[in-house]
Structure 1
Amino acid sequence: MKSKKSIIEDAVNTLQLEAQSILGLIDHINDDFIRIIDLILQCRGRVIVTGIGKSAIIAQKIVATFNSTGTPSIFMHAADAVHGDLGMIQKDDIVICISKSGNTPEIKVLAPLLKQSGNLMIGMVGQLNSELAVQADLILNTTVAKEACPHNLAPTTSTTAQLAMGDAIAICLLNARNFNETDFGRYHPGGALGKRLYLKAGDIALKNQKPSIPPDASVKDVIIEISQNRLGAVVVIEADVILGIITDGDIRRMLEKHTNLADITASDLMNARPKTIEKEFLAINALEMIKENNITQLLVTDGGAYFGMIHLHDLLQEGII
């Protein structure tokens, strides 16, 4: 078993080498890189990203990032390409072939075939005298000094460099297209991330009951209404106008101060300045209001009229928090 000090040294050395590999890419952001961005922006087809081994895994991640940020992309495994998958490449597609050495058997077979297809071929490669570099129309140089692996064998710094170069391309394309949060939400409708980008306050309020009570309601009626609707609060309304809100906390504080409840009504208990949010605002905005005001319930309105209520637990259940 290695000592704690030795383990820490190994981890720090790995991170330093990988950080250096990324910083080394800065010198390779050149005219070829700019040309690649321009050509992808003009591309009528898709970006096909291919590779073998660990580079294939990086290719899959780059494809996922491209697709989620507005660049249609498909992964093609280099080994499967020569067994029929070349058929997925259409005439307007651009191909990015990823390989550290550029000389693996699969790449040596694939590169000339891609060249013959007439599609623009971009080589993301770590050896500029390799078969891939020679065949490619444009080069993304991802050369690294050494792998973090002590034997300089396991792909580590090289795959980190490939991944970072893919991210650099994706972000340049994203910014060039003015790809915004609304676009991002359209491509990420599922999960907590998607909900943060598209779920509206009104969508959540519709799932809840709409507790309300008149200003002259008794304490008993207030308690019953709060208990039945399980939102921990009730809205005081008269002639469709919101007068205030009563929470279960307001009830507890009232009981601490008063023993005679006969003459107390909803108007005596309510907070006459409840926090509200219009139904078209995002649920994440509702969460921000709840946090800023240190409250649990938030009224949702439609043009100022009472539309519903959101509880902090609703946001937790939706995965917004």
Structure 2
Amino acid sequence: MKLSKNIQSTAKKVLTQEAKAILHVSQAIDSEFEACVEHLLARPGRIVFTGIGKSAIIAQKIVATMNSTGTPALFMHAADAIHGDLGMIQSGDSVICISKSGDTPEIKVLVPLIKRLDVSLIAMVSNRESYLGQQANYILHAFAEQEADLMNLAPTTSTTVALALGDALAVCLLECKGFTAQDFAKYHPGGALGKRMYLKVSDLYPQHDFPSIVSAATIKEAIHEISSKRLGATAVVEGGELLGIITDGDVRRMLETQADWSAIQVIDMMNRTPKTIDSDAYATEALAIMQSLNITQLIVLANKKAVGFVHIHDLLKEGIV
């Protein structure tokens, strides 16, 4: 196998060429693109993406992006459409057909069939004057003058431009719809990203026994509670009311400075202003507090009563950190 001596320069050339193509398309965004977005927002149905070859793969990715950002979409392979898949298109839908040339045989067969239906046809095409471009109600101009390979054959620049234009379309739609981070979490509940959006402190603190003592407890009892519950601290509680907190750091400092600690009482040793968080708060809020104060645990309050702890290890375990 003959290896190229210009691997780095070739890679840089490809990336630069594709970046320039995307920049060119971004500079050409005008009222035509805006009208297409407004049309899609006004349509009652879904967006059906179709294409052939590499364009079909790009269409599938854009469909996934649309669905995850609140715009119902589905994929229909252009070759399968004429063998029954046209049945997935419903009245009120919009069809976005992705094709660089706009003149492939499959597209020429498919377009008249689509135009018989009660749908709008949008062309994501490089060649405006192609058959697809002339038949479409709207054009998303994914212009790509040349592919990245020396032979100008492999779909590279053209597919990158189409993908980026699809992302731009999806983001415009989500912003126009007022799509929020909470909405995003509804469609991504399984991963760490989703957990950051929906996981609450109330989902975490019940995983632990609540380390707590009364103010009349001995220092030995406090140390035992801290050690046995393994959260690095114990709350000082009377009748559900939070009085303070003793951490393992407090214990270490006491042992370093006091030769005789048998007479020291919990109420004298505790921190009377413990850091707390409401059980209904999001786990990300707990993380922000811990990071800003450089601490590892917070006491959880429910209806102003101390009910448990949330620890930094809980957040690590859930992938929040």
TM range (shorter): over 0.9
What is the correspondence of 1:1-321 to structure 2 with a 5 Å cutoff?
Answer: 1-3=3-5, 6-321=6-321
CA–CA distance in 1 between the matches of 2:19 and 2:176?
Answer: 26
For 1:182, the aligned partner's letter is Q
Q: Which amino acid aligns with 2:94?
A: I
1 CA distance for matches of 2:246 and 2:81?
66
| Deviation per residue, 1:261-290 (Å, 9 max, x gap) | 311232233222211111222111111111
Shift of 1:260: 2.2
Q: Does the 8 A contact of 2:102 with 2:125 survive in 1?
A: yes
Work out whether residues 93 and 118 of structure 2, in 8 Å CA contact, stay in contact via their aligned partners in 1.
Answer: no
Report the secondary structure of 1:158's partner residue: helix
Structure 2: give runs of 5+ residues left out of the alignment: none
Offset, 1:2: 4.4
State the alpha-carbon separation in 1 of the partners of residues 115 and 217 from structure 2.
80
Equivalent residue of 2:74, what SS?
strand
Residues 50, 97 of structure 2: 8 Å contact kept: yes
Inter-CA distance 65–218: structure 2 relative to 1 (3 Å threshold): same
Q: List per-residue Cα deviations over 1:91-130 (Å, max 9, x = no partner).
A: 1111001111112222222122112223101010111222
Deviation at residue 215 of structure 1 after TM alignment: 1.6
Matched residue type, 1:239: G
Mapped to 1, the partners of 2:150 and 2:259 lie a distance apart of 77
Farther-moved stretch of structure 1 (308-317 vs 241-250): 241-250
**Mapped partners of 1:260, 1:191: distance in 2:** 51
The 3-state SS of whatever aligns with 2:203 is helix
Instruction: Give the conservation status (yes or no) of the 8 Å contact 2:92–2:118.
Output: no
Q: Whole-Å Cα distance in 2 between the matches of residues 224 and 113 of structure 1?
A: 77
Identity fraction in percent: 53
For the aligned residues, what is the CA RMSD?
1.6
Q: Structure 1 residues 65-74 or 6-15, which shifts more? A: 6-15
Contact in 1 for aligned 2:233/2:248 (Cα 8 Å): yes
219-228 vs 160-169, which moves further: 219-228
Residue 112 of structure 1 aligns to a residue in which SS? Answer: helix
- Letter matched to residue 298 of structure 2: L
Q: Is the 8 A contact 1:147 1:156 kept in 2?
A: yes
Secondary structure at 2:170 match in 1:
helix
8 Å CA contact 2:226, 2:248 repeated in 1: yes
The residue type paired with residue 95 of structure 2 is: V
Which shifted more, 8-17 or 287-296? 8-17
Structure 2 length-normalised TM? 0.94
Aligned structure 1 segments of 4 or more residues deviating by more than 6 angstroms: none
Q: How many angstroms does 1:57 deviate by?
A: 1.4
Q: CA offsets, 1:238-261, max 9 Å, x none? A: 232212112222222222223323
Q: Distance in 2 between matches of 1:19 and 1:307?
A: 54
Three-state SS of the structure 2 residue aligned to 1:186 is: helix
The gaps in structure 1 that reach 5 residues or longer are none
Q: Distance in 1 between matches of 2:198 and 2:63?
A: 24
**What is the one-letter code of the residue matched to 1:244?**
G
Contact conserved, 1:277 with 1:301, CA < 8 A, in 2? yes
Cα distance between partner residues in 2 of 1:7 and 1:234? 60
Residues of 2 paired with 1:37 and 1:232: CA distance?
54
Amino acid of the structure 2 residue aligned with 1:186: K
Q: Secondary structure at the match of 1:123?
A: strand
Instruction: Say which SS state the counterpart of residue 245 (structure 1) adopts.
Output: strand
Preserved contact between residue 55 and residue 98 of structure 2 (Cα < 8 Å) = yes
In structure 2, C-alpha distance between the alignment counterparts of 1:110 and 1:247, rounded to whole Å: 70
| SS of equivalent residue, structure 1 residue 206 | helix
Q: Is the contact between residue 28 and residue 140 of structure 1 (CA under 8 Å) also seen in structure 2?
A: no
Contact 1:202 1:308 in 2 (8 A): no
Q: Letter of the aligned partner of 1:140 in structure 2?
A: L
Distance 1:25 1:215 in 2: 69
Structure 2 CA distance for partners of 1:217 and 1:2, relative to 1, 3 Å: farther
Deviations 1:182-221 (CA, angstroms, capped at 9, x unpaired): 2122222221111111111222112222211112211221
